[in-house]
Amino acid sequence: MTPRSLALLVVLIGCSSSEDPATSSGSTTPPPSNGGNEPTPPLVEGADCDSSDFEVRSIGTVQFEGETFEVITATPCAYVLSHIQGKKDFPVEERETFYVVDSQFELPYIPGVMDNVAYTPGDKNKGWANGMDVEAEVARLGALPVLYHVTPGHEYGYFTDHNDGGGDIFGAFRPTWRFIKNGSDVSLRFFSPPDTAWPRHRGGWNPREINQEIGFGLLVDTDGKVYIPKGVPLGRTWWNEELRCVLINKASQPVPVTRTQFPGDESYYMAETVMPGYASLSSHGHLYWGHKGKPMVDVAKWDDTLPGNFDKPFGGGCSPDGYSVAHAEGFTWPELRAQKRDQYLAGEIEAIPKEHLYRIKVYRQNDPSGAVELLGELFYEWDGDEWLPKATGDALIPIDPARSTYRISGHLGEGQRAFVVIEDL
């Protein structure tokens, strides 16, 4: 690709501020936005939060249909821990196996130790990956392990996948390490399988229950000090050198992709932002793709005005093992869709502008030197008063025929590749 010379200035277009009579029931013209949707200027090479709205890490390159795409991760600066917390001078005490940071309940940053840990914006959570008031909960319950989040393309470093042999899927989720507090004494212990006494996930989605039951995360003490392990990955990479499956954005705007945290409360958190003209890695876990051109902070959360994932039209992503992309359930659920249609026709809410939606094409390459094969595409079509799911292709797998919803998925073996391509609608 050509060198990047201009700073990133993402034009984020909101919904229309008034209903257009041309978009009432029966019109095939999708609702307009309230302004233009200009292409995003190129990224700065190696952009960081001093020169861009994103911290960019270059992973490599991929070839697709005669074009070379740089593979990057792009983390919105609101989620970059070093950017938000790096200039704060928290006292740090170094012990044999862990650090103790006097950050007054905030998620702190230690260079070289927490570079793959992400900050989670919020009014009460102080950077931690949950919606609770961390200081208040610690005051109420005592010292707690608190869940943190990770940067795009990484997996949480605080749990491991372990097959307990008992057929219990929750037995797979165990802490890689955990802090133990006994009176004023704090120690760090590590998982050595098989250890039948080591705690595992037992169900339940409340962060307080999970933290007390299992011990995932960094310990936050009652005096506001945070305990951070030494010598262990706090975020594990989730891609291989072959870059076997990538997302490519050939549309005009960024697409924010969210993930649900598990073990955790399954709320939406920042995953990758797929930038125009670039390829991107895909994070692990349950992924939901937001409206094109929206900022991550408007997508990586539950929204009372858009129940469930109604602002997330697609789900799925890539991994070294395979690919799976689908129409998102919340966006196509009949009762929710009918509710939104009725509210739109009554003038209570505005419809989603066409610019915020997009189509996804999935390609497979079975031989590194062979041609790519288009498996199918998923998209939405305006039907006068609502967006309906549509799909074409020979590799479609029905999710719900009554809703015309589909997924495209498959396993990747050695030497095989997949490309999930985003295009404007």
- Please identify which residue in the block is written with the tokens 């196509």: 332
Give the phi and the psi of residue 303 in degrees, each rounded to 5: -130, 120
pLDDT at 191 over 50: yes
pLDDT at residue 379, rounded to an integer: 97
Strands 405-411 and 397-400: antiparallel
Query: Pairing mode, if any, of strands 255-260 and 287-289?
Result: antiparallel
Report which of 375, 76, 54 is spatially closest to residue 245, judged by C-alpha positions.
375
pLDDT at 404 over 90: yes
* Greatest pairwise CA separation for the chain in angstroms: 69
Q: What is the DSSP letter of 281?
A: -
Output the six-digit token pair for 424. Answer: 């404007």
- Looking at the fold, whether 263 and 369 belong to one and the same domain comes out as yes
The pLDDT-based confidence of 9 (bands split at 50, 70, 90) is very low
377 in the same domain as 304: yes
- Length of the chain equals 425
Domain ranges, residue 341:
21-77+239-424
Encode pLDDT of 296-352 as tens digits. Answer: 998 887 654 544 557 899 999 999 899 999 999 888 888 888 888 888 889 888 888
Same domain flag for 259 and 291: yes
Query: What's the pLDDT score for residue 307?
Result: 46
Residue 9 inside a domain? The answer is no
Dihedral sign of CA atoms 393, 366, 410, 160 in order: negative
pLDDT band at residue 28 under the 50/70/90 scheme = low
How many domains, the chain? 2
Q: Is the confidence at residue 279, as pLDDT, over 60?
A: yes
Specify the pLDDT at position 240.
86
What is residue 310's predicted lDDT score, i.e. its pLDDT? 74
Encoded amino acid at 172, one letter = A
Is residue 248 located within the same domain as residue 353?
yes
Domain identity same for 395 and 314: yes
Q: What is the DSSP string of 217-264?
A: SEEE-TTSEEEEESSS-SEEE---TT--EEEEE-SSS-EEEEEE-TTT
Residues 67, 87 within the same domain: no
- Answer yes or no: do 92 and 53 share one domain: no
Query: 137 with 188, same domain?
Result: yes
3-state class of 81 per DSSP? helix
Over the Cα atoms of the chain, what is R_g? Answer: 22
- Counting residues of the chain whose pLDDT is more than 90, the rounded percentage is 54
For residue 330, the surrounding DSSP H or E stretch is helix 329-332
**Co-location of 266 and 408 in the same domain:** yes
Residue 267 placed within a domain:
yes
Alpha-carbon gap, residue 224 to 106, rounded angstroms: 8
Stretch 55-77: mean pLDDT: 95
Q: What is the pLDDT of residue 330?
A: 83
| Segment 363-398, tens digit of pLDDT | 999 998 899 999 999 999 998 888 999 999 999 999
Domain boundary among 203, 235, 267: 235
The identity of residue 117, as a single letter, is V
Q: Which of 175, 201, 235 is the last residue of a domain?
A: 235
Mean pLDDT computed over every residue of the chain: 83
At residue 89, the pLDDT reads 94
Any domain includes 113? yes
Choose one of 187, 207, 235: the last residue of a domain.
Answer: 235
Amino acid identity at 107: L
- Asked, for residue 14, whether it belongs to a domain, the answer is no
Among 341, 347, 291, smallest CA distance to 37 is for 291
Model confidence band, residue 110 (pLDDT cutoffs 50, 70, 90): very high
Same domain, 88 and 229: yes
Co-location of 388 and 245 in the same domain: yes
- The verdict on 102 and 153 lying in the same domain is yes
pLDDT above 90 (res 61)? yes
> CA torsion 271→178→131→334, rounded to 10°?
60
Q: What beta strand segments (E) does 65-176 contain?
A: 67-76, 92-94, 98-102, 117-118, 144-146, 149-150, 154-156, 159-161, 173-175
Other beta carbons within 10 angstroms of residue 43's beta carbon come to 24
Tokens of 420: 């999930």
Do the Cβ atoms of 278 and 69 come closer than 8 Å? yes
Domain-embedded: residue 292: yes
Q: How far apart are the C-alpha atoms of 25 and 31, rounded to whole Å?
A: 11
Strand partners, 247: 280, 420
CA 125 to centroid of chain Cα atoms = 18
